[in-house]
Amino acid sequence: MEKKWIYKPLPSKEQIEALGKELNLNPYLTTVLIQRDITTFQQAKDFFRPSLDQLHDPFLMRDMEQAVQRLKQALDANEKILIYGDYDVDGTTAVSLVYNYLHRFYPNCSIYIPDRNKEGYGISRAGVEWAEENNFSLIIALDCGIKASDMVLLANHKGIDFIICDHHLPDEKIPNAVAVLDPKRKDCTYPYTELSGCGLGFKLIQAFARRYRNEEEVYEFLDLVAVSIASDIVPITGENRVLTYFGLQKLNENPVPGLKALKEISQLKNELDVSGIVFTLGPRINAAGRVAHGSAAVDLLTATTEEEALELAEQVNVKNDLRREFDSSITEEALAMIKEDESLHVAKSTVLFKNSWHKGVIGIVAARCIEKYYRPTVILTESNNKITGSARSVNGFNLYEAMLSCSDLLEKFGGHKYAAGLTMDAGNLKAFQERFEEVVSQSITEEMLTPVIEIDVPILFDKITPKFLSILKQMAPFGPENQKPVFEASRVYVVNALSSFKERHIRFLAGQEGNETVFQAVGFDMAEYYDQLASGDTFSLAFNIEENVFNGNTSIQLRIKDIKFDNA
């Protein structure tokens, strides 16, 4: 699929020179900083040297005072507390974090993770009834609950209070809970709105610890917060960047037993970064809730000994292998359905349904379909006599707004701009397919339907030095809204050592005309470029710059994002 290259606006020469002089940086790195709205020495210092002091006061969040007081009241009265959370990575890390913290000094708390297939997402009637049967009087809901007004009301009638910690968009009506912690509330003035569900759980225990215990205790769980931020694809800016920075340190040096065991099972040799979490730890934690019950992930993340954690990690890993099988076979079926349906060739959206597809992997399948057919995609299956599904979007298209336009056909839906979940009656399937396509067609632009490579700055090979890479690495952690800088080099050619490996990937030694510096370049899933590269044509290269460690030797490597041949 051909990609469009878009160049970020370059700052003025005066701006680059002024900041470059202040920071003693070359123009390329200074440009990258200014493009990230870092324009002063102090902003650069905060960016390059994150500090826990940069975290916001948790009591700035609406309802935090009420949440902390209700929690203290429960502890003083020895009430039974139920920690309730979603079955994905964000939910299970959030539940594990709050439980691990509270359980250290308060044993009268338990965990509840709803069954994906029987109860679905969010606060369920079964969960509230289970809490009543087992004499819980306080439920702390994590990564869910902002749309559960009816279930909170039901709990109130049963004498059960709710503290909700959720980061999803609320409806106009906020649930009538003791406290609703959600920085996306219109009436909340908290300075940062993009926390993960686990991040909100962290703010709750941070506030409690600040008021009644030692705040240092809560920093021990930042590895769980980092895993949630990376896996939930929230922006790595502001407070999230600080939490991720210190969470990664904890994850690499001294993680909780469950994460340590997962790292061992994943046979990770290098230091973990955000993308390492996304591709190794996240899918394994998610797999438990996708193909079995999410409580297996929580058992792992709350394990207290390394022996217990290793045993549970092996079980989770087996589920991940099963998840891969489901994912692969359903993706194959979905892509074949698109290929065989003429109407889908010209459509602006993809909506596919098959009643036998496994509910746990349809979100992944939606993302895989977008890799091949770049457009908003909804994958649906049958569960509990309803049609349920996951939707994923493309850059710039607001999926949540599109769902809102179809809301009369849906029993429930929730999510955000780029990902959503939905449930409907079987009789509404055809109408939903037609309406969704109509809504997308009317509002999506051709630009949104073309995958984009965003170039930070063009560069010459001889400007890429070990010192350059060292400073570049300090811009991490990278992720949404602080992506790895993408550079462009023109008049590039293959010097030698062109090879294809695993029949999918390419590797070669790259040179640039008029420049003596050469680098190894590697392109994953780019084997289709092999023949043209072998022909000797020159090309422009879009790439990230990374460190390659092999057999104890460290070198600079170019990770190819895209290639455009000069004679094309």
Per residue in 507-533, pLDDT tens?
999 999 999 999 999 999 899 999 999
Separation of alpha carbons 471 and 402, rounded Å: 41
pLDDT per position as a tens digit, 208-226: 999 999 999 999 999 999 9
CB-CB neighbours of 105 under 10 Å: 9
Q: Considering only CA atoms, which of 193, 205, 178, 195 is closest in space to residue 67?
A: 178
Asked whether residue 179 falls in the same domain as residue 311, the answer is: yes
In a domain, 470, yes or no: yes
Give yes or no: residues 459 and 438 share one domain. no
- Does residue 334 lie in a domain region? no
242 with 201, same domain: the answer is yes
Does residue 568 register a pLDDT over 70? Answer: no
pLDDT(117) > 80: no
Say yes or no: 389 and 467 in one domain: no
Residue 512 DSSP symbol: E
Name the phi and psi angles at 446, rounded to 5: -60, -35
Query: CATH number of the domain that 472 lies in?
Result: 2.40.50.460
CB 260 within 8 A of CB 308: no
Residue 553: what pLDDT? Answer: 86
Per-residue pLDDT tens digits for 306-318: 999 999 999 988 8
Say how far apart CA 467 and CA 192 lie, in whole Å: 33
Does residue 330 fall inside a structural domain?
A: no
Give the number of other CB atoms < 10 A from CB of residue 135: 11
Q: Are the CB atoms for 186 and 195 separated by under 8 Å? A: no
Cα angle 175, 74, 105; round to 5 = 125
Contact 453, 419 (CB under 8 A): no
Q: Are 80 and 71 in contact (CB under 8 A)?
A: no
Measured CA to CA, the distance from residue 174 to residue 148 in angstroms comes to: 9
Asked which of 46-60, 93-107, 276-290, 353-367 is least confident by mean pLDDT, the reply is: 276-290
Question: Residue 296 falls within a domain, yes or no?
Answer: yes
- Beta-bridge mates of residue 141: 84, 164
Among candidate residues 268, 303, 318, the one where a domain is terminated: 318
Taking residues 415-436, report their average pLDDT: 92
Residue 515 to residues 51, 257, 459, 493, 518, Cα–Cα distance (Å):
40, 50, 12, 11, 8
Residues 272 and 410 in one domain: no
CATH number (domain holding residue 165): 3.90.1640.30
Phi, psi of 424, deg, nearest 5: -150, 165
For residue 218, is it within any domain? yes
Predicted confidence (pLDDT) per residue in 127-177, tens digit: 999 999 999 999 999 999 999 999 999 999 999 999 999 999 898 899 999
Per-residue pLDDT tens digits for 377-398: 999 999 888 999 999 999 899 9
**Which segments within 51-158 are labelled E, that is strand?**
81-85, 109-112, 138-142
- The reply to whether 39 and 113 lie within a common domain is no
105 shares its domain with 174: yes
Q: How confident is the model at residue 233 (pLDDT cuts 50, 70, 90)?
A: confident
Q: Which one-letter DSSP state was computed for residue 479? A: B
CA nearest to 234, candidates 260, 204, 262, 198: 198
State the pLDDT confidence band at 288, using cuts at 50, 70 and 90: confident
Percent of the chain with pLDDT over 70: 99
Predicted local confidence at residue 292, as pLDDT: 57
Are the CB atoms for 350 and 378 separated by under 8 Å?
yes
Counting the structural domains of the chain, the total is 3
The answer on 262 and 207 residing in a single domain is yes
What's the confidence (pLDDT) of residue 225? Answer: 98
Q: Are 222 and 243 in contact (CB under 8 A)?
A: yes
Tokens of residue 89, six digits: 């990575």
Least confident stretch, 248-252, 293-297, 470-474: 293-297
> Does residue 327 lie in a domain region?
no
Tens of pLDDT, residue by residue over 475-494, are 999 998 999 999 999 999 99
Asked if residue 298 and residue 269 are part of one domain, the reply reads yes
User: Which value, to the nearest 10 degrees, does the dihedral of the CA atoms of residues 92, 95, 101, 107 take?
Assistant: -120
Residue 118: inside a domain: yes
First CA to last CA across the chain, in angstroms?
A: 15
DSSP 3-state assignment of 161?
strand
410 and 275 in a common domain: no
Residue ending a domain, among 389, 415, 443, is 443
Residues contacting 348, CB < 8 A, separation 6+: 375, 376, 437, 440, 441, 444, 449
Could you report the per-residue pLDDT of 53-112, keeping only the tens digit for each?
999 999 999 999 999 999 999 999 999 999 999 888 999 999 999 999 999 999 999 999
Alpha helices (runs of H) in 417-519, residue ranges in sequence order? 429-443, 466-473
Q: What is the pLDDT, as a whole number, of residue 344?
A: 93
Asked if residue 326 belongs to a domain, the reply is: no
CA–CA distance, 240 with 234 (Å, rounded to integer): 8
- Produce one character per residue of 233-244: b if its CB has 16 or more CB atoms within 10 Å, e if not: bbbbbbbbbbbb
Residues 6+ away with beta carbon under 8 Å from 460: 489, 512, 515
pLDDT at 116: 73
Instruction: Tell me the average pLDDT of the chain.
Output: 94
Mean pLDDT of 249-260: 97
Which pTM was predicted? 0.89
- Per-residue confidence at 253, pLDDT binned at 50, 70, 90? very high
Q: Is the domain of 17 the same as that of 70?
A: no
Task: Note down the domain range covering 400.
Answer: 341-443
- Does 107 lie in the same domain as 146? yes
The CATH number of the domain holding residue 437 is 3.10.310.30
In angstroms, the CA 324 to CA 334 distance is 15
Distance from C-alpha of 534 to C-alpha of 512, rounded to nearest angstrom: 16
Handedness of CA 134, 138, 139, 142 (dihedral sign): negative
DSSP-derived letter for residue 481 is T
DSSP-derived 3-state class of residue 536: coil
Last residue of a domain, one of 426, 443, 460: 443
Q: Spell out where 349-451 has E strands.
A: 350-353, 377-383, 386-392, 412-415, 419-424
Model pLDDT, residue 118: 81
